[in-house]
């Protein structure tokens, strides 16, 4: 009889020890000791320490983020030729620069322009109800007219965007934008 009671208790303990909804972990042994729980504010959490009550703050006026040089041109189309004339690619097409250029190109550009640059990226192939999901026609970056452009002009397009294409200045740092230009010129032919 005693055996059955113990067995019954064990089964009951088993049934009640799990939280069916699995919303919390209930017991943690080291809790605060082991820094299980971050005391830092999450990026989008409200924050009483700042005037606007937000955790994510804008960069302080007059400061520059590391590796992100301010861009001297403001006009997307009007300054394109000027950028082509005045900006010189500071980097050489070394193996390292081309490899990193490819890595960044594959991440940020290939989705539209395609891995080989032909303008046939994954986004251009998505169709829903017989309609293309992406309305733009990405330029063929292997085309002669692209290769005839000075490096600075392609750099300007990556930095400011183009007609439909968005600006990439906030995602890709200055040197990596030049590396992408090198990669296009040297490897996407
Ligand atoms: C979301 C899609 C998309 C992404 C991502 C994208 N592009 Fe484009 N790109 C386009 C489209 C569409 C055009 C043609 C229409 C236009 O000029 O906006 C274009 C045009 C261009 C041109 C030609 C501009 C000119 O002066 O005629 C270049 C060069 C270019 N892209 C380079 C890049 C590079 C390099 C990247 C990655 C850093 C990139 N693009 C990322 C869609 C994209």
Whole-number Å distance, alpha carbon 113 to ligand 1 midpoint, is 7
Q: What is the per-residue pLDDT for 124?
A: 96
What six digits make up the tokens of 27? 């017991």
CB 113 near ligand 1, within 6 Å: yes
CB 41 near ligand 1, within 6 Å: no
Q: What is the per-residue pLDDT for 78?
A: 97
Task: Give, in order, the Cα–Cα distances in Å from 78 to each of 60, 86, 108, 121, 155.
Answer: 29, 14, 24, 28, 14
Q: Which atom of ligand 1 is least distant from the CA of 109?
A: 37
Q: Which atom of ligand 1 is least distant from the CA of 149?
A: 26
pLDDT in tens, the chain (189 residues): 788 999 999 988 887 776 666 667 667 767 666 667 778 899 999 999 999 999 999 888 999 888 888 899 999 999 999 999 999 999 999 999 999 999 999 999 999 999 999 999 999 999 999 999 999 999 999 999 999 999 999 999 999 999 999 999 989 999 999 999 999 999 999
Q: What is the per-residue pLDDT for 59?
A: 84
Q: What is the per-residue pLDDT for 152?
A: 98
Q: What is the per-residue pLDDT for 67?
A: 82
- Angle at the Cα of 176 from the Cα atoms of 150 and 168, rounded to 5 degrees: 80
């Amino acid at each position: 009889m005693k055996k059955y009671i113990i067995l019954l208790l064990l089964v009951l303990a088993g049934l009640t020890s799990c939280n069916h909804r699995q919303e919390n972990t209930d017991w943690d042994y080291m809790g605060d000791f082991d820094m299980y729980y971050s005391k830092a504010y999450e990026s989008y959490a409200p924050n009483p320490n700042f005037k606007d009550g937000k955790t994510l703050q804008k960069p302080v006026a007059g400061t520059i983020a590391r590796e992100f040089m301010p861009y001297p041109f403001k006009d997307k189309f009007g300054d394109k030729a000027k950028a082509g004339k005045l900006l010189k690619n500071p980097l050489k097409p070394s193996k390292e620069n081309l490899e990193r250029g490819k890595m960044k190109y594959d991440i940020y550009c290939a989705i539209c322009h395609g891995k080989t640059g032909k303008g046939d990226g994954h986004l251009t192939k998505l169709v829903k109800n017989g309609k293309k999901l992406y309305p733009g026609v990405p330029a063929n970056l292997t085309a002669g007219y692209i290769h005839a452009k000075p490096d600075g002009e392609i750099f300007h397009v990556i930095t400011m965007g183009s007609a439909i294409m968005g600006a990439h200045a906030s995602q890709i740092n200055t040197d990596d934008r030049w590396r992408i230009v090198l990669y296009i010129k040297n490897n996407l032919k």
